[in-house]
Structure 1
């Protein structure tokens, strides 16, 4: 890491004091943890049913049982969803292979994707699970799929070949096209009988999202509120054991793996980030994916049986610029200077405790992916943006900025300044914003941090209602490399429209590659005819991102999930074949549970 010149050595002290305050609080938290563990293990192994316990901030009253909508449905935003409503398959983000769940398999026949369900499966209401369920589920998703997506929007034909097999005819085939289809959650044909049958008729007639017929169907779909969730996985809801404080899932013996899982019940406690941390400290939760603070992370170390489950990160947090609101940012020297003022490692530690990693290669991809596409020599030749305050001064002066009475002024003589928005309730975003405020202000660029409401930051980002926003870079939802550049360049970026977002022009002049169209490169990286063509597009975008720095990666996610062994769970596999999976997309702990690899403590 670049050393800080002595004349600037005192600038980051305020952030260091904030870090020390966090650590000091953590020490106090750790002292209390020993008291909590003395009464831990409320549902520990014994004569009763074996339990696996988790935590999520659910709401029985407000959340719907319309699980096909996913957003807003009960537990569908949690990692526990795969236990009661399985996907067709889970993707291995390291090997790029599939672990089939509800599907027995899939294959391509030209431009046709053939998917085959496992035989002998039943829903929790006793109905058989077959191709009719898949036909209704796929038709509803085709009807709902936005045309800019990939997977279901490309389906032109839908045909039931036999009781377990469905053919999806595609308009074109490209690498990874099948992913959203294999990962789709098939829902009950009985629950969705009317909506599913009508959706299938509409799709067969060529109706798609935005057509008048779809609008009419959708009005009923969004209001649909079934009384219960009919389950396909190894567990189902026990209505008699559901309360505002906890949800209990019991075996669904006729569902997928219902007789193979080793826990009789899965209990999901209600809790937000802070409550989750307390439940872990009390030994009441075996595994949590809710984000603990740095203080909580320290307190966990005193919990008997505590262990960290590490999930690979494929994104990070950084700064997204609004080039229309602040034209001075169009000068790449200014963007680079702003990056060089920041100590990303310190910001990450304050924001995430141990749950972050520093950025080594500023390519728009997480470092593990960058290292798969470029050699060490090629990566070493790229620019780095570790903190270097002297170099930041040089760049601003080259850009025509001047410093008067400790404050930087723009070339036109006006005083510089930015507002940086975080998101209220997103602790790592809030702490990143305040540290950027502090660093830039101390450097002589007056900056104010403000948090926007957490209910709709996406609307604010998309509308371009910001100057600088704390925002993700990379892509935690798309394992293919091109997904990161879709996020970095295209998400919340449509210059001149009603939702301009960043207002970053996509036809750019690269010092290395000359004039390039980034939108075309993203498309080529996704749909290019050969692997060589796709890889070359990716390598070009990596270089362009590094040269032009359209947004600043500050730190990367390392997802550390607290877990407890020896109370209910005998132990977790820390070297699982799917251990590089993203925790929310294809969670390998949940996969272990489903596949029967997690076992209870022997009573």
Structure 2
């Protein structure tokens, strides 16, 4: 890894200690790589079938085969899901266009969205995939969609037009409202006939989430666990090759692209982050999206055929404040000072190794997106919050803080102190929190880092049960730029007694923009009828974020997926047209496999 130390001698020493700790911890684990026995079958299966291999931490016993619920369903949280249960299409995050899969396309007719399947599709059980499957799947999703979502919650009507087309009627649709419909995974009417038919009727009767009829329906649905997953993609599950060690997907010639994909089998080994790294080091895995440690990243360099597949990051890690718990943070000068204390490069490298990028623009959007809506000259005017200890001290003094006996006191005369929460088991969050703790303590601000359980940090954040939290910024779920500001401003900020979250006042006074209602601007950016109106709202929010720094972006995710070429896979396309896609939603490697562009090694 590369490392540029701070010019400050104290920070140089701290940076060195942090890096040694991070690398030393992981290197000890890497030495145990040879202890893992090989569990793949070489370059090819015993039958001579070509094989693509991956890894994911699945659980055959606890995970349901009810794939319509997605969360908690077998492999539905992995990148391999599109191989056996396709969406309507994969979105290109750079060109903002669709690579359609199951769908032939979509078309707007006034407030009606017409969604059309490709003709001739079949399920892995041999039945036809038709608009019966589509309308039932859509109806179940309308019932389940949370009211704050985008797309299905706004569907007012569903109508089956013919064997391959369905009409979805909206009330006052806005740009890209159809994304969740195109991304939805259609499920088999054979499996879901009872629920699907009931859902279609309930939607027609006006039933929606939270109604009594839905509550009764949902109680049955969440308990539903079919015996098998009927597949629409180019691969299907082989029940004879499913174990606690690995799952084998075999070619599904009936499915979409089933005769076009170039690999006969896809093998998914069971493994967590550490086990995944060991499998990569042994050359047993062709491609993994599980997060390797900094030491693992170094160890990969010795693997024959190793290469990185880089996936763009659309979110990052930073600090979220609870303004009610610590009122002094309402002074923007204090927030800016706390940012200037941090060496973000060191924090990012210790937390993520090479899997991070520094923040340049502090616009609330990741730099990739900021550079798409602002000119270089406009971005040159944005304030930067690189490490500058003198500027941090100056800002605190301007805010009325004083430093006595090496300890900073707030404008109220009290010693400043903060507790920062990370998340247990989230290594990059844990390392970020401890580094912030160290830096702020060294600067004279008493800081304690604590990790909360990983089973529900979202509940803790939403309840405002924190002073400062290591938290995401930006948005990897919504490709539209407004999604970042929904995350930064609105999420965990409901302002209710039960869920106060950040307690950040969304009506702000901007030095350059004047009085701004950020909640209103998020809606304008989401629903604007013209690109000009949308861009104006986005630019205003980005400028306000840069000026007021309501949370501190520290580093941006750069997703480095380890891959091995020349064993089973010929090579990976580093210049793929969809290479800027978010890796978990619209993975371009999986798209390349589905489209028949990813090829096996020739004998």
TM-score, structure 2 as length reference: 0.97
- Deviation at residue 533 of structure 1 after TM alignment: 0.6
* C-alpha contact (below 8 Å) 2:421/2:468 kept by paired residues: yes
Provide closer, same or farther for how the CA distance between residues 39 and 247 of structure 1 changes in structure 2, counting only shifts above 3 A. Answer: closer
Provide closer, same or farther for how the CA distance between residues 192 and 447 of structure 1 changes in structure 2, counting only shifts above 3 A. Answer: same
- Deviation at residue 120 of structure 1 after TM alignment: 1.2
- Deviation at residue 27 of structure 1 after TM alignment: 6.4
Match of 1:94 in 2: 94
Structure 2 Cα separation of the partners of residues 24 and 66 of structure 1:
42
Q: Runs of 4+ in structure 1 displaced over 4 angstroms?
A: 3-6, 24-33, 35-41
Match of 1:326 in 2: 326
Count residues with an aligned counterpart: 599
- Gaps of at least 5 residues in structure 1 are none
Deviations 1:321-369 (A, max 9, x none): 0111111111111100000000111100000000000011000001111
Question: Is 1:594 aligned to residue 594 of structure 2?
Answer: yes
Match of 1:397 in 2: 397
Matches within 5 A, 1:100-499: 100-499=100-499
- Deviation at residue 311 of structure 1 after TM alignment: 0.4
Matches within 5 A, 1:495-506: 495-506=495-506
Matches within 5 A, 1:502-513: 502-513=502-513
- Deviation at residue 4 of structure 1 after TM alignment: 9.7
Matches within 5 A, 1:1-80: 8-11=8-11, 13-24=13-24, 42-45=41-44, 48-80=48-80
* C-alpha contact (below 8 Å) 1:496/1:503 kept by paired residues: no
- Deviation at residue 30 of structure 1 after TM alignment: 7.2
Question: Is 1:546 aligned to residue 546 of structure 2?
Answer: yes
- Deviation at residue 148 of structure 1 after TM alignment: 1.5
Structure 2 Cα separation of the partners of residues 346 and 244 of structure 1:
39
* C-alpha contact (below 8 Å) 1:5/1:390 kept by paired residues: no
* C-alpha contact (below 8 Å) 2:5/2:15 kept by paired residues: no
* C-alpha contact (below 8 Å) 2:5/2:346 kept by paired residues: no
* C-alpha contact (below 8 Å) 1:30/1:298 kept by paired residues: no
Structure 1 Cα separation of the partners of residues 324 and 584 of structure 2:
34
* C-alpha contact (below 8 Å) 1:247/1:267 kept by paired residues: yes
Structure 2 Cα separation of the partners of residues 558 and 5 of structure 1:
22
SS of the residue corresponding to residue 192 of structure 1 reads: helix
Structure 2 Cα separation of the partners of residues 410 and 96 of structure 1:
47
Query: Which is worse superposed, 211-220 or 13-22?
Result: 13-22
Deviations 1:354-406 (A, max 9, x none): 00000110000011111111111111111100000001001111111111111
Structure 1 Cα separation of the partners of residues 119 and 532 of structure 2:
40
* C-alpha contact (below 8 Å) 1:382/1:546 kept by paired residues: yes
* C-alpha contact (below 8 Å) 1:45/1:601 kept by paired residues: no
Query: Which is worse superposed, 16-25 or 37-46?
Result: 37-46
SS of the residue corresponding to residue 173 of structure 1 reads: coil
Provide closer, same or farther for how the CA distance between residues 276 and 76 of structure 1 changes in structure 2, counting only shifts above 3 A. Answer: same
* C-alpha contact (below 8 Å) 1:12/1:439 kept by paired residues: no
* C-alpha contact (below 8 Å) 1:482/1:526 kept by paired residues: yes
* C-alpha contact (below 8 Å) 1:89/1:103 kept by paired residues: yes
Structure 2 Cα separation of the partners of residues 481 and 18 of structure 1:
34
Structure 2 Cα separation of the partners of residues 559 and 119 of structure 1:
36
Structure 1 Cα separation of the partners of residues 411 and 6 of structure 2:
26
Deviations 1:114-163 (A, max 9, x none): 11111111111111100000011000001111122111111111000000
TM-score, structure 1 as length reference: 0.97
Match of 2:523 in 1: 523
* C-alpha contact (below 8 Å) 2:6/2:12 kept by paired residues: no
* C-alpha contact (below 8 Å) 2:6/2:343 kept by paired residues: no
* C-alpha contact (below 8 Å) 2:341/2:440 kept by paired residues: yes
Query: Which is worse superposed, 372-381 or 579-588?
Result: 372-381
Structure 1 Cα separation of the partners of residues 38 and 543 of structure 2:
55
Structure 2 Cα separation of the partners of residues 587 and 38 of structure 1:
29
Provide closer, same or farther for how the CA distance between residues 562 and 545 of structure 1 changes in structure 2, counting only shifts above 3 A. Answer: same
Deviations 1:177-202 (A, max 9, x none): 11000000000111111111111111
Match of 2:559 in 1: 559
- Deviation at residue 486 of structure 1 after TM alignment: 0.4
- Gaps of at least 5 residues in structure 2 are none
Deviations 1:421-479 (A, max 9, x none): 11111110110000000000110011111111111111111111111111110000111
Provide closer, same or farther for how the CA distance between residues 375 and 546 of structure 1 changes in structure 2, counting only shifts above 3 A. Answer: same
SS of the residue corresponding to residue 433 of structure 2 reads: helix
Provide closer, same or farther for how the CA distance between residues 11 and 307 of structure 1 changes in structure 2, counting only shifts above 3 A. Answer: closer
Provide closer, same or farther for how the CA distance between residues 218 and 396 of structure 1 changes in structure 2, counting only shifts above 3 A. Answer: same
Match of 1:532 in 2: 532
Structure 2 Cα separation of the partners of residues 39 and 193 of structure 1:
43
Provide closer, same or farther for how the CA distance between residues 14 and 125 of structure 1 changes in structure 2, counting only shifts above 3 A. Answer: same
SS of the residue corresponding to residue 469 of structure 1 reads: strand
Structure 2 Cα separation of the partners of residues 374 and 216 of structure 1:
49
- Deviation at residue 408 of structure 1 after TM alignment: 0.7
Aligned CA-pair RMSD? 1.8
Structure 2 Cα separation of the partners of residues 93 and 381 of structure 1:
27
* C-alpha contact (below 8 Å) 2:38/2:284 kept by paired residues: no
Structure 1 Cα separation of the partners of residues 361 and 412 of structure 2:
34
Structure 2 Cα separation of the partners of residues 181 and 538 of structure 1:
25
SS of the residue corresponding to residue 191 of structure 2 reads: coil
